[in-house]
Amino acid sequence: MFHRSQRLFLRPAFPEDSGAILAGIGEEAIVRNLARAPWPYGIEEARAFAAMPQDMRLPHFLVTLPGVGVIGSAGMGEHEGEPEIGYWIARDHWGRGYATEAAAAVLRIARTLGHRRVLAGHFVDNPASGKVLRKLGFVPTGRAGLRFSAARGHAVESVEYALDMEADMDPAPFARAA
């Protein structure tokens, strides 16, 4: 599965992307904000990520910027039996709206796939991710809790969000995101 947004191209990872994945994610400031990525994160972890099979109901993508290459990843997984969105963007590309644009593209795909509700969350010490989620229309569930961080090796306080995909949503958050 492939998807083009206004500035980005989302595509599956290939084995030859391992070096680019490592170059983008391979610093603790990024990995520590992800639930499943270990630290240290090396080429073997990047190869394993590139080799992950696709679940057509929960696709995941590399985020590429034409003319630049891989700048991150965005996709879906499962948390407590419900679809969940996640993303990361390489530090050199922070602050340009790429996380919001990539996540909005994944949400368009989620809606096409028939998902009615999508979850998301962020560790409390990563408020920038919460800002992205709120721009996309996610609302806090009121449920804060602990979520395991593989990079940190322990559970970390997190804020949980949900997006009702069936609600008559104002399309503006998706338009602004792109």
**Domains of the chain and CATH, by start:** 3-177 (3.40.630.30)
How large a percentage of the chain has pLDDT more than 70? 94
Mean pLDDT of the chain: 93
Model pLDDT, residue 143: 84
Tokens matching residue 1: 């599965």
How large a percentage of the chain has pLDDT more than 90? 90
Model pLDDT, residue 169: 52
Cα distance from N-terminal residue to C-terminal residue, the chain: 19
CA-CA distance, 63 to 99, in Å (whole number)? 9
Model pLDDT, residue 70: 98
Q: Among 8-12, 38-42, 157-161, 167-171, where is mean pLDDT lowest?
A: 167-171
Model pLDDT, residue 144: 77
Q: Which of 29, 16, 21, 133 is nearest to 86 (CA)?
A: 133
Give 98-132 pLDDT, tens digit per residue.
999 999 999 999 999 999 999 999 999 999 999 99
With bands split at pLDDT 50, 70 and 90, how would you rate the model's confidence at 151?
Answer: very high
* DSSP H helices in the chain: 18-25, 28-31, 43-51, 98-112, 127-135, 172-177
